[in-house]
């Protein structure tokens, strides 16, 4: 795998994190930025490695069923984000806090990383070391998550209501695109 291919792979996978992080940033989760970045980065590093260890026999199963779980989680988060844009009740704030708790972030990280599991054993890593691929994916994901949280927060300040709806629509589009690929 060439350096250019690694950079493209990191960018593509990082965009998932960017969209989710924008949604979280628009929902006011700036104070949990380090936690969000840390959890997403850990998953983005270890899941491709786990994929390598699982082998090609599991790839067929994950390709036929795993994609819809990731897509569904993104679509549900997008719908929930749009609903949140129209609701400012205290229970919504509690729901946001639970999504960005370690347990919620672990579940979200798992959903975001399902495609990385497939990358790990079905992309064909060629001569690139698994640690190099995992590190590139994790680095891009961390940077995109960090940027996404800030961008979501800034968009919310500028456009408040529209930014939250836009983030939700982006997540739904990402989930649908993921499902169609």
Distance of CA 65 to the CA centre of its chain: 18
Per the CB < 8 A criterion, the answer to whether 52 and 132 are in contact is no
Residue 34 has pLDDT above 90, yes or no: yes
The structural domain count of the chain equals: 1
Q: What is the DSSP letter of 29?
A: -
pLDDT of residue 85: 63
- DSSP assignment of 75-90: HHHHHHHHHHHT---H
Task: State the pLDDT at residue 2.
Answer: 76
37-49 average pLDDT score: 89
The pLDDT, as a whole number, for residue 112 is: 74
Range of the domain at 76: 3-180
Query: Percent helix, strand and coil across the chain, each rounded to 5?
Result: 90, 0, 10
How do residues 80-134 score in pLDDT, each as one tens digit? 667 766 665 555 566 667 777 888 888 878 777 776 766 665 554 455 677 888 8
Q: Whose CA is closest to 26, among 143, 145, 161? A: 161
Confidence of residue 4 (pLDDT cuts 50, 70, 90): confident
pLDDT band at 19 (very low <50, low <70, confident <90, very high): confident
* pLDDT greater than 80 at residue 163: no
Are 178 and 78 spatial neighbours (Cβ–Cβ below 8 Å)? no
d(CA 2, CA 96) in angstroms, rounded, equals: 40
**Nearest 5 degrees, angle CA 176-CA 179-CA 181?**
110
Higher-pLDDT residue of 140 and 81 is 140
Tell whether the model's pLDDT for residue 62 goes beyond 50.
yes
- Pick from 162, 152, 173: nearest CA to 75: 173
In this predicted structure, what is the pLDDT of residue 122?
A: 53
Per the model's pLDDT, the better-predicted residue between 62 and 53 turns out to be 53
Considering only 68-72, 124-128, 159-163, 166-170, which range has the smallest mean pLDDT?
124-128
Q: What gap in Å lies between CA 88 and CA 14, rounded to an integer?
A: 30
């Amino acid at each position: 795998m060439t350096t250019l291919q690694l950079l493209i792979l990191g960018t593509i996978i990082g965009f998932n994190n960017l969209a989710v992080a924008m949604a979280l940033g628009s929902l006011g989760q700036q104070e949990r930025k380090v936690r969000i970045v840390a959890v997403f980065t850990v998953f983005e590093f270890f899941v491709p490695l786990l994929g390598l260890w699982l082998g090609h026999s599991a790839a067929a199963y994950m390709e036929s069923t795993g994609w819809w779980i990731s897509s569904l989680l993104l679509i549900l988060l997008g719908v929930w984000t749009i609903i949140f844009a129209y609701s400012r009740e205290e229970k919504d704030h509690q729901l946001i806090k639970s999504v960005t708790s370690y347990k919620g972030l672990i579940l979200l990280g798992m959903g975001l990383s399902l495609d990385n599991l497939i990358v790990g054993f079905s992309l064909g890593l060629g001569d690139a070391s698994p640690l190099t691929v995992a590190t590139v994916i994790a680095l891009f994901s961390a940077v995109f998550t960090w940027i996404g949280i800030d961008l979501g927060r800034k968009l919310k300040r500028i456009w408040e209501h529209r930014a939250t709806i836009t983030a939700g629509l982006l997540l739904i589009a990402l989930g649908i695109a993921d499902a169609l690929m």
